[in-house]
Amino acid sequence: MPSSPPKPCTRCGVLVRDGGSRCELHRQVWVKAKPTKRITGRRLQAMRHSLFTREPLCQECKRNGKVGLATQRDHIKPLAEGGADDETNEQGLCDECHEAKSLAEALRGRRGGGSKV
């Protein structure tokens, strides 16, 4: 079976014979963390109630010297990046801070911000 002709690496020009576009030195492997299963139902409602009772203020506003009421249960480390769905990885955020954080996470995900191996 005929193989494809070697092509130069897009970074250094070394000939690549495996059909890829980069040599062994410049090839990067991205590994996405396996997402954690999301908690739902009554257990989630109990966790939200516990969080907002414990910490009724938005944590991001608090860090910025502002006061805002927490309305969203947020994962500090996103589940898609391997964060846990428990009390150690949750914080209360207001709608505005949650939207900004979610947008930043989505952009990071689109740019391939996974873990490098």
Residues 115, 73, 86, 66, CA torsion sign? positive
Domain ranges (residues) in the chain:
1-30, 36-111
Per-residue pLDDT for 117 more than 50? Answer: no
Per-residue pLDDT for 92 more than 90? Answer: yes
pTM (2 d.p.):
0.65
Per-residue pLDDT for 2 more than 80? Answer: no
Residue 15 has φ and ψ, to the nearest 5°, of: -70, 130
d(CA 70, CA 4): 57
The type of residue at 88 is T
More confidently predicted of 112 and 44: 44
Number of Cβ within 10 Å of residue 50's Cβ equals 13
Per-residue pLDDT for 31 more than 50? Answer: yes
* Per-residue confidence (pLDDT) for residue 116, from 0 to 100: 41
